[in-house]
């Protein structure tokens, strides 16, 4: 009976070790490089999209510099939101 | 020999010019390398699944590994409900991966270093996911733009920001892949040019850099294909399950 208990605890320890290994692997250099590249473009893309929308709306309504300024800052906000969200997602996974 | 580092990205026509209703549809070197990538994928999958032995051969092992890799990635990010989209994600991942990897060979052309190629891929994902979301949830899909627990006064501002954030998805998806591939290949060419111009005396240092950068580029080639596929999975998950 005691033998079985011993084996059970040893199995538990071994399983925990395997799980810990997974955590270490997910934070490896390659994965973090991927995350860094992912986040940096997200910020830029939203700013570009926001400014483009502002530019298009400006030429529609003939309000030349006004909307592009507003939408540029909206784009910045959206970009930060994107970065915040993907960072949160990464945090949840770990 | 042309030492201009941007020369490798030039698209030129192979064979006769084909004009269909004012649209130039000629076969170019870009099309050629897309065909090569697609053929290599088909060849790998065909040879890998021909002899289904219990102890896999090398090629069967690679095929099975790529399958389990994508399947696990989908399971982790999009869940079981996205299982039916496996063929799409797998095709996307393999195409981007092979286009990147074929581009690493000397004298080849990197298809994914052109923004139009990556943008078409990303736009296809974006339009497909949006249609899927509306087909599955109807107008409830628009709730994606209205986060919960926001005061009514702030709502118009938040909705615009959310829409910009949604529209920025294909841009960030395509620019990321394109910029990484183009920057990497330009850098390789620049360091290669240094080796030639510094000659036998000083050329060893950039040669070492070139070797190291090639290794890094192969890593980036794989990583970008992975990121492209994983983000597609995440967008798919958003459309299928409707939450942030």
This complex has an ipTM of: 0.71
Residue in chain B closest to A34 (alpha carbons) equals B223
A42–chain B Cβ distance below 8 A for any pair: yes
Q: Domain limits of chain A?
A: 2-93
Per-residue pLDDT at B37: 92
What is the distance in angstroms between the Cα of A59 and the nearest Cα belonging to chain B? 18
For residues B225 and B213, the answer to whether their CB atoms sit within 8 Å is no
Q: How far apart are CA B200 and CA B202, in angstroms?
A: 6
Condensed to tens digits (0 to 9), the pLDDT of residues B133-174 reads 888 888 888 887 887 777 888 888 888 888 888 888 899 889
For residues B179 and A37, the answer to whether their CB atoms sit within 8 Å is no
Radius of gyration for chain B, computed over Cα atoms and rounded to the nearest angstrom: 22
Note if the pTM is more than 0.90.
Answer: no
E strand or H helix that includes residue A80? helix A64-93
Is B7 in a helix, a strand, or coil? Answer: helix
Helices (H), chain B: 29-50, 58-77, 86-103, 115-137, 155-202, 204-241
In this predicted structure, the answer to whether residue A22 has a pLDDT above a threshold of 80 is no
Q: How far apart are CA B119 and CA B173, in angstroms?
A: 8
Q: What is the pLDDT confidence band of residue A10, given thresholds at 50, 70 and 90? A: confident
Q: How far apart are CA A74 and CA A82, in angstroms?
A: 12
B79–chain A Cβ distance below 8 A for any pair: no
Mean pLDDT over each residue of chain B, to the nearest integer: 86
Mark which residues 120-179 of B lie under 8 Å from A by CB: 157, 160-162, 164-165, 167-169, 171-172, 175-176, 179
B231–chain A Cβ distance below 8 A for any pair: yes
Close Cβ partners of A68 (under 8 Å, ≥ 6 residues apart): A51, A54, A55, A58
DSSP one-letter string for A19-74: HHHHHHHHTSHHHHHHHHHHHHHHHHHHHHHHHHHHHHHHHHHT-HHHHHHHHHHH
């Amino acid at each position: 009976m005691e033998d079985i208990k011993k084996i059970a605890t040893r199995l538990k320890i071994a399983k925990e070790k395997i799980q810990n290994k997974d955590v270490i692997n997910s934070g490896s250099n390659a994965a973090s490089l991927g995350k860094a590249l992912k986040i940096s473009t997200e910020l830029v893309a939203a700013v570009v999209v926001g400014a483009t929308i502002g530019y298009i709306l400006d030429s529609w309504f003939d309000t030349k510099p006004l909307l592009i300024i507003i939408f540029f800052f909206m784009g910045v906000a959206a970009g930060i939101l994107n970065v915040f969200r993907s960072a949160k997602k990464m945090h949840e996974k770990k | 020999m042309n030492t201009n580092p941007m020369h490798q990205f030039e698209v030129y026509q192979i064979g006769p010019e084909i004009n269909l209703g004012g649209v130039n549809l000629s076969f170019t070197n870009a099309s050629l390398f897309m065909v090569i990538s697609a053929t290599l994928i088909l060849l790998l999958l065909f040879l890998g699944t021909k002899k289904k032995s219990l102890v896999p051969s090398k090629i069967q092992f690679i095929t099975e590994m790529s399958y389990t890799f994508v399947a696990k990635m989908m399971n982790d990010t999009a869940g079981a409900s996205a299982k039916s989209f496996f063929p799409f994600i797998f095709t996307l991942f393999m195409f981007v991966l092979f286009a990147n990897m074929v581009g690493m060979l000397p004298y080849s052309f990197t298809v994914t270093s052109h923004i139009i190629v990556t943008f078409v891929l990303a736009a296809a994902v974006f339009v497909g996911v949006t249609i899927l979301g509306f087909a599955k949830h109807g107008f409830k899909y628009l709730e994606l733009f209205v986060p919960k627990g926001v005061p009514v006064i702030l709502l118009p501002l938040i909705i615009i920001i959310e829409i910009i954030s949604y529209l920025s998805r294909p841009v960030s998806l395509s620019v990321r892949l394109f910029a990484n591939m183009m920057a990497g290949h330009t850098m390789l060419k620049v360091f290669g040019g240094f080796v030639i111009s510094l000659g036998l005396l000083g050329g060893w240092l950039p040669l070492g850099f070139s070797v190291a950068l090639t290794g890094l580029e192969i890593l980036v080639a794989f990583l970008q294909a992975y990121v492209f596929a994983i983000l597609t999975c995440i967008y798919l998950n958003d459309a299928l399950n409707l939450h942030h």
